[in-house]
Structure 1
Amino acid sequence: MPPLHSMTTLRRLKLLLAAAELVCVAASLTAAWQAHASMEMSGLGDLDRFAFWNSIIALSLMLFFLLWVAAVLLALFARQREHFGSAARYWKHLVPDVLLPPVLLAAGWLAFVVLQ
């Protein structure tokens, strides 16, 4: 295995973290949709199913934030190892793995709230 500071290894690890974060976003939104479908706004419905899907939401959000913190730490580690010619180039490298997943999570939840 190449050393951790290798560019290809870091890039692969960043993409893996971003993909895992996006899976957590999808799981969270899907579970929210299922939880919403299991209970009516009046409070009638399957309470056990609602609690199950809410626990899936909580677990996927916790995992998302743990992965996101790992991505931030990896980005800081990469900044120490790499030399970026400009601030714009550094921010461009942060978009796919650090900045985009939380924006997608917020946009997905906003869309879910608005569409319900």
Structure 2
Amino acid sequence: MRGYFWGAASVLLVTLAQLLMKWGMAQIPLLSFASLTPALLSEYELPLLVVIGGIFGYALSMLCWFFVLRNLSLSRAYPLLSLSYALVYLAAVMLPWFNEPACVLKSLGVLLILFGVWLISSKAVAKASEQG
């Protein structure tokens, strides 16, 4: 059970990291190193801090993932990562500041991902693989 707790924490953190970095990078214009000045950096301080927060979220997610790998078999743990694909899509569609449209094919893909994770994680599949 502890492995699933750490897995959920890892998935939520990596989802949050993706959303933070997307929002932050959307606020910052394409810059070159030559154009970086203190005034420009102060103008985009909040988006840069949000991007750094996203990177920090990735680091925390990796730390949680180490605990997942200690507590779950890889065949049970790895499918959990794909849940972040579904969560990022749902958040990007539902949260107004991302303004991404819902699409039938993408929504179907998310449902297939969720079904696949459920199928891989189901007890019937685990019993069948142990027997055979």
The offset of 1:21, in angstroms, is 1.7
Measured at CA, do residues 96 and 77 of structure 1 come closer, stay the same or move farther in structure 2, by a change above 3 Å? same
The offset of 1:22, in angstroms, is 0.4
- Among 91, 112, 116, the alignment partner of 2:75 is 91
Bigger shift: residues 25-34 or 48-57:
48-57
Q: Equivalent residue of 1:11, what SS?
A: helix
2:13 is matched with 20
The offset of 1:76, in angstroms, is 2.5
Normalised TM-score (structure 2):
0.46
The offset of 1:13, in angstroms, is 3.2
RMSD of the TM alignment (CA)?
3.4
Q: Is the 8 A contact 1:21 1:67 kept in 2?
A: yes
Measured at CA, do residues 20 and 63 of structure 1 come closer, stay the same or move farther in structure 2, by a change above 3 Å? closer
User: How far apart in 1 are the matches of 2:14 and 2:77?
Assistant: 17
Q: Is the 8 A contact 1:27 1:57 kept in 2?
A: yes
Measured at CA, do residues 100 and 69 of structure 1 come closer, stay the same or move farther in structure 2, by a change above 3 Å? farther
Runs of 4+ in 1 over 4 A off after TM superposition: none
1:29 is matched with 22
- Among 61, 72, 78, the alignment partner of 2:71 is 78
The offset of 1:29, in angstroms, is 0.9
Which segments of 5 or more consecutive residues in structure 2 lack a partner in the other structure? 89-132
Which segments of 5 or more consecutive residues in structure 1 lack a partner in the other structure? 1-6, 85-89, 106-116
Q: Is the 8 A contact 2:24 2:48 kept in 1?
A: yes
The offset of 1:78, in angstroms, is 0.8
Measured at CA, do residues 92 and 10 of structure 1 come closer, stay the same or move farther in structure 2, by a change above 3 Å? closer
User: How far apart in 2 are the matches of 1:53 and 1:78?
Assistant: 36
User: Where do 1:39-54 residues align within 5 Å?
Assistant: 47=40, 48-54=42-48
The Cα offsets for residues 48-100 of structure 1, whole Å up to 9 and x where unpaired, read as 232331222122202212222321x1122214xxxx5xxxxx33521324x77
Letter in 2 for 1:51: E
1:87 is matched with none
